[in-house]
Amino acid sequence: MAATDFKDFYAILGVTKTASADDIKKAFRRLARKYHPDMNPGDKAAEARFKEVSEAYEVLSDSEKRQKYDRFGQYWKQAGPQPGSSPFGSGNPFGGNSNSNVDFDSFEFGEYGSFDDFINALLGRMGNDSGFGRSSTNYRTSTSTATGFDTTPGVGLDSEATLTLTLSEAFQGVQKRLSLSSEEFEVRIPAGAKPGSRIRVRGKGQFSPYYTSQRGDLYLTIEIAPHPFFQFEGENLVCEAAIAPDEAVLGTQIEVPTPDGPVTMNVPAGIRSGQSLRLRGKGWRNPKGGRSDQLVRVVIVAPKDISPTEKEYYEKIRSLRTFDPRAGLKDVKL
139 located within any domain: no
Dist CA 40 CA 51 (whole Å): 13
The domain spanning residue 203 has which CATH number? 2.60.260.20
143 located within any domain: no
- Confidence (pTM): 0.52
Of 201, 217, 197, 219, residue with least CA distance to 156: 217
Ordered DSSP codes for 207-251: BPSS-TT-B--EEEEEEE---SS-EEETTEEEEEEEE-HHHHHH-
Instruction: Tell me: do 47 and 96 sit in the same domain.
Output: yes
148 located within any domain: no
Instruction: Tell me: do 34 and 113 sit in the same domain.
Output: yes
Instruction: Tell me: do 112 and 188 sit in the same domain.
Output: no
Instruction: Tell me: do 43 and 118 sit in the same domain.
Output: yes
Instruction: Tell me: do 43 and 98 sit in the same domain.
Output: yes
- Host domain of residue 296: 231-331
pLDDT of residue 281: 96
Last residue of a domain, one of 82, 107, 125: 125
263 located within any domain: yes
320 located within any domain: yes
136 located within any domain: no
Instruction: Tell me: do 172 and 106 sit in the same domain.
Output: no
Cβ neighbours for 306, distance < 8 A, ≥ 6 positions apart: 314
Instruction: Tell me: do 235 and 218 sit in the same domain.
Output: no
**Residues paired with 184 in a beta bridge:** 179
pLDDT of residue 79: 61
Looking at residue 109, what DSSP letter applies?
A: G
Instruction: Tell me: do 78 and 181 sit in the same domain.
Output: no
Cβ neighbours for 249, distance < 8 A, ≥ 6 positions apart: 269, 270
Per-residue pLDDT of the chain (334 residues; tens, 9 = 90+): 444 467 889 999 999 999 999 899 888 888 888 888 777 778 888 888 888 888 888 889 888 889 888 887 777 776 655 444 443 444 444 433 333 344 544 444 444 444 445 555 554 544 443 333 333 222 222 222 333 333 333 346 888 999 999 999 999 999 999 887 778 889 999 999 999 999 999 988 887 766 656 788 999 999 999 999 999 998 999 999 999 999 999 999 999 999 999 999 999 999 999 999 999 999 999 888 899 999 999 999 999 999 999 999 999 999 999 999 998 898 899 9
Last residue of a domain, one of 192, 207, 224: 224
245 located within any domain: yes
Of 63, 56, 122, 68, residue with least CA distance to 95: 122
CB-based contacts of 130-138 (< 8 A; 24+ apart in sequence): 130/95, 130/96, 132/94, 132/95, 132/96, 132/210, 133/210, 135/211, 137/210, 137/211
Q: How many residues does the chain have?
A: 334
Cβ neighbours for 241, distance < 8 A, ≥ 6 positions apart: 254, 256, 265, 296, 297, 298, 299
Instruction: Tell me: do 19 and 106 sit in the same domain.
Output: yes
137 located within any domain: no
The domain spanning residue 46 has which CATH number? 1.10.287.110
Ordered DSSP codes for 74-98: GGGGGG-PPTT--TTGGG-TT----
Instruction: Tell me: do 12 and 118 sit in the same domain.
Output: yes
Contact by Cβ (8 Å): 280, 255: no
How many structural domains does the chain have? 3
Instruction: Tell me: do 99 and 63 sit in the same domain.
Output: yes
Instruction: Tell me: do 99 and 204 sit in the same domain.
Output: no
Last residue of a domain, one of 187, 208, 224: 224
Dist CA 190 CA 188 (whole Å): 6
